[in-house]
Structure 1
Amino acid sequence: MSTYSLRTILLLPALLTALTSQAQTITGTILDAKTHEPLPYVNIGVLHKGVGTVADDKGTYHLPVGPTHATDTVRVSSLGFRPRLLRVQELRQQPTVELSPEAVVLREVKVKAKGLYKHTRVLGFKKPDGNGTLTMTSDDLGTEIGSVINLKSKPTRLVNANFSVAYNHSGPLTFRVNIYRLLPDGRPSEEKLLHRDVIVTSSVEKGTISVDLAPDQLILDEDFMLALEWIKGPEKAKVKSQLAFVAGLGYANNDLYLRKTSQATWERASAGAVLAGMQPKISFYVTAQD
C-alpha cells in the first residue's frame, strides 16, 4: 500500500508546474572559431545530468536548463574540434559558442597489405527478423544506443554498419553513426574512431539501415562500440513511442549501452537476474574483412 498521503498527491501537480515555470531554455549558435561559420549537429549538454540536445544543421541549439543546474558544467563537442566546458551561467550570458579546430590523432595500426583482406565476416548481433524490440531511451535529441562489437581477428577493416529497424511510424529520421573506443573496463569512452561525421537520413519503416564505411578505410585492432544517435527528425514526442529496433537475448558478448541525450552517462542495459545471465542485445552489426 502506498505511503503517500492524499494531500501530497494533490500538491504534486502544483509543485511540478512551479518547477517547470522556473526552467529556462538557452538558445544559441555553435560556430567554427576559425571560419565563424555555423557548425551542424554539435552535441551540447549538462555533464552526467541527462539534460542535453544536438544543434541543428545551421548550428542553432535549444538547451532546457532548470534552476538546479546553475552551477553545473555544460560540455560542447563536435568531431574535429576541441571540446568546450562552460558553466550554465556562462552559457546564459554568452549563448554563442565557438569551437576551435583540432587535428584528429590517429592511433597506429599494423596494416596488412590491401590484397590480404580476403575473409569477409559479420560481427555483432545479426537478427534482422527477431521478435524483440528496443526503443530509444528518451525523446531528446542526442539519445543513443550502442552495442559492443568484438573482433575475431586483428587487424580488421570495417566495410559497412547495419541497424535493424523493427518499426518506424514517425517518418524520416536523421542519425549519426558513431564508433567509440572502449575503456580498459570494457565500457564506452567518449573517443570516436571515425574521422568524420557519418550522417544518414532514413525513412525505413521496417528493415535494415545500411551505411557504407568503405570510404573511411577504418582498420581496427581493438574491440569497439557501434552506436546510433538520433540528431534530427519529427516531433520529439513521437520518436520514443514510434521507433524501435530489433532486439533479442543471448549469452554471448556484445554488451548493450544506452544514454538519454548528449553528454549523458552511458548506462549498461540488463535483462535482470531472473534470466540467469542472459543479456539484451540489439541487432546492430558490421560487415568486416580480415
Structure 2
Amino acid sequence: MKIKVTFLLIMFTLVIQAQEQIISGKVLSTENNEPLPYVNIGIKDKSVGTVSNENGVFKLYLDHKVRLNDTVIFSYIGYKAEKYLISDLKNLTGSILLQSKNMELDEVVLSAEKVKYKSKKIGRTSKGIGLFHANFYSYNEKDVDDRLSKEKGMKFKLRRNCHIKDLNFNITSNNFKSLKFRVNFYKIEDGIPTEIIVHKNIVFEIKDNFHGWFKVDLEPYDIYLKEDIEEIAVTIQWLESVKTDEKSKYFAIATASSPIHTAFSREKAMDKWNKSGQNLSFYLNAMCE
C-alpha cells in the first residue's frame, strides 16, 4: 500500500536561556492540515530528544554539550527520516517536509497443512517479592517532561513463528492520573536494538494511578513475528503524562536482577541504548507454531 503524505513543521523558534537552547515548533500534515502527534525528535547517541504532543507541538531542549554541527533527526514510523543541523534550525524560515516511504511488509503465508498453534508466554510472568523496581524517574530530571521519549523494555528470544496477542507488565508505582506510551518492536544486532520491525504506531493509555498487571491489547495490529528473527527487543516509550498532584513523579515496573536476561533502556529518542542484567515483569502473550 502506497500512501503519499508529507508533513509540514512550522512555527520554529529558538530561545536562549542561560546555557540551554530550546527549539520549538508544531507538526502538521499537509494532506489534511491536522497536527501529527508523537513524532520522535532527537540527536543520535546523545541524551537530547523528545516527542511532539497530541497537538503536534514540541519543545526540544539542547544542553551545553550540543554543537552547531550536531544533527537533529525527525522520525515517524512509515516515513523517511529528515535530518537538520542545529545551525540550520536556528535560521529556519521555511518548512520541514517528511515524506512517506513505501513499506514492503512480509506477507504472512498460511500453509495448506494443518498447523497446531499453542499458547505461549514469552518473558517474565511473575512479580516476584516486589523489592526491585525499574523506575522511569531519574534524579537528574528537572520536571516530568524530561521523560518524553524515554524507553524501557526487554530482550526476548523467538523459537517459533508467533502471532502476538498482547503485552503485559506489572506496575509497582504510579503517581499519574494519565500516562501514554508507545510499544516498539526492534531487531537486535550486535546485542543492541536497531531498526523497528513492527511498523505500526501502537499507543496506549494507563489511567487513574493504576497498579498491578496491565495488558496492552495487540490483536488489532495483526503482529506476526517469524522465528528467523531469533531475538527482538520490546519496549514502552513515554509519550505524555498528567500528574495526580504537583508532587507526582514515580512510575515503575517490577524487576529482578538476572545474569541471563537483558533489559534495555535509553533516556531519549535517538540516544544510546543501555543494557542491564535485569528481568522486568514484562511478557508477551502469543500463539506460536
TM-score range, shorter chain: 0.7 to 0.9
* Structure 1 unaligned spans of 5+: 1-18, 270-278
Contact 2:185 / 2:235 at 8 angstroms: preserved in 1? Answer: yes
2:205 matched to which residue of 1? 201
- Give the 3 Å change call, closer, same or farther, for CA 213–113 of structure 1 in structure 2: farther
TM-score normalised by L of structure 2: 0.81
2:77 matched to which residue of 1? 79
Contact 2:119 / 2:286 at 8 angstroms: preserved in 1? Answer: yes
| One-letter identity of the residue aligned with 1:135 | N
1:105 matched to which residue of 2? 104
Contact 1:168 / 1:206 at 8 angstroms: preserved in 2? Answer: yes
| One-letter identity of the residue aligned with 1:122 | K
Asked which structure has the greater CA Rg, the reply is 1
SS at match of 2:256: strand
Contact 1:141 / 1:232 at 8 angstroms: preserved in 2? Answer: yes
- Give the 3 Å change call, closer, same or farther, for CA 64–238 of structure 1 in structure 2: farther
* Structure 2 unaligned spans of 5+: 1-15, 139-145
1:10 matched to which residue of 2? none
| One-letter identity of the residue aligned with 1:119 | K
Residue pairs, 1:1-290, within 5 angstroms: 21-32=18-29, 34-66=31-63, 68-94=66-92, 96-107=95-106, 111-112=110-111, 116-131=115-130, 132-136=132-136, 138=138, 139-153=146-160, 155-183=161-189, 185-189=190-194, 191-203=195-207, 204-221=209-226, 222=229, 223-234=231-242, 241-253=249-261, 255-269=262-276, 279-290=277-288
**CA deviation map 1:211-262 (0-9, x unaligned):** 1112222111222111000000036x967x4111110123433x11110011
- Give the 3 Å change call, closer, same or farther, for CA 117–51 of structure 1 in structure 2: farther
TM-score normalised by L of structure 1: 0.80
Offset at 1:32?
Answer: 3.3
Contact 2:70 / 2:86 at 8 angstroms: preserved in 1? Answer: yes
Moved over 6 A (4+): none
**How far apart are the structure 2 equivalents of 1:158 and 1:178?**
13
Offset at 1:121?
Answer: 0.9
**How far apart are the structure 2 equivalents of 1:178 and 1:130?**
28
Offset at 1:280?
Answer: 1.4
* Bigger mean CA deviation after superposition, 199-208 or 76-85: 199-208
Contact 1:137 / 1:259 at 8 angstroms: preserved in 2? Answer: no
**How far apart are the structure 1 equivalents of 2:172 and 2:253?**
5
| One-letter identity of the residue aligned with 1:217 | D
- Give the 3 Å change call, closer, same or farther, for CA 246–134 of structure 1 in structure 2: same
**How far apart are the structure 2 equivalents of 1:195 and 1:102?**
11
Contact 2:38 / 2:239 at 8 angstroms: preserved in 1? Answer: yes
**How far apart are the structure 1 equivalents of 2:154 and 2:72?**
26
Offset at 1:116?
Answer: 2.8
SS at match of 2:41: strand
**How far apart are the structure 2 equivalents of 1:249 and 1:112?**
41
RMSD: 2.5
SS at match of 1:50: coil
Identical columns (%): 26
| One-letter identity of the residue aligned with 1:229 | Q
